[in-house]
Amino acid sequence: MTASELTPAVVQLGPLVAEVAGSGPTVVLLHGNGEDARIFDAIVPHLAGYRLVIMEARGHGRTPEGEAPITIAHLAKDVDAAMAVAEADGLAAGRGVIVGFSDGANVAMELAIHRPERVDGLVLIGGNYQPSGMKPLVHAWIVLGWVGLAVASLVSKRARRRARVWGLMVGQPRISETELAQIGVPTLVVAGERDIITPYHVRRTAGLIRQAELVIVPDKGHLLPVEAPAALADAVGQFLASLRRS
């Protein structure tokens, strides 16, 4: 990408704020819980030749919380609406490859199941289709943190907002294996060797999606966009190139 292409334009896409950069086939990037577009800063320069649309979920970054429930299903509907606006405004195609990290991967799965016409391919980084996909001690820590926020929310609006977002990881997503098996687009499943998602769940995700391939990044944990941006960018770049050749 040129220097000008690397400078994203901040736009409002329906319910979501997004950064748009580059040119070429559309690639939508979805961050994880409690994050924003910055989580992808280290890999974006490696994705030359694509129109990158980096969306910030409701209650995250520059996107306001809004009134609708914050659930994986509602966040997927937001992405659907944002892609429709991007297409109508001539900013990006109304379909593309969806790259999701953590909760963003879960939203990407939900979108592929219920709005498959939006999705040409999936990259699922550290995703889980059920809460049980997390390692038990990690999930227990998340539940304790959510309970603490819920108590604090009795006197703090900020804690109340954080509790709504944090609650996504307590009881969601609730994607069935039957639904997961309905995904019919090429998919790359990526996880760190020491991810907070169990190895069985990662392999099961890749096994249930018919056209999925699996990449495990050695000696790394969950935060691959930060811990291993070069390895992640290489895997994503190779996958995107393979889709363009097919």
- What pLDDT score was predicted for residue 161? 86
Q: Give dist(CA 13, CA 34) in Å, integer.
A: 20
Q: Which of 2-6, 145-149, 223-227 has the highest mean pLDDT?
A: 223-227
pLDDT digits (tens, 9 = 90+) for 124-172: 999 999 999 999 999 999 999 999 999 999 889 888 888 999 999 999 9
Q: Residues of the chain with pLDDT > 90: what percent?
A: 88
Q: What pLDDT is recorded for position 96?
A: 98
Q: How far apart are CA 205 and CA 192, in angstroms?
A: 14
Question: For residue 134, what are the β-bridge partners?
Answer: 197
68 vs 209: which has the higher pLDDT: 209
Please write the tens of the pLDDT for every residue from 69-100. Answer: 899 999 999 999 999 999 999 999 999 999 99
Give the up-direction half-sphere exposure of residue 24: CA atoms within 13 A in the CB hemisphere: 14
**Mean pLDDT, range 32-42, rounded to an integer:** 96
Instruction: Let me know the angle formed at the C-alpha of 102 by 188 and 199, rounded to the nearest 5 degrees.
Output: 65
Cis bond before residue 131 (omega within 30° of 0): no
With tokens 């990037």, the residue in question is 29
CATH no. for 3-130+174-245: 3.40.50.1820
Quote the CA–CA distance of 31 and 37 in Å, as a whole number: 6
Q: Phi and psi dihedrals of 67, rounded to 5?
A: -105, -25
- Of 32, 48, 20, 27, nearest to 225 by C-alpha is 32
**172 burial type by CB count under 10 A (0-12 exposed, 13-18 middle, 19+ buried):** buried
pLDDT of residue 2: 45
Residues 170-179 have a mean pLDDT of: 96
Over range 26-31, report the average pLDDT: 98
Q: How far apart are CA 100 and CA 206, in angstroms?
A: 15
pTM comes to: 0.95
Residue that the structure tokens 């195609």 belong to = 93
Q: Which amino acid is at 38?
A: R
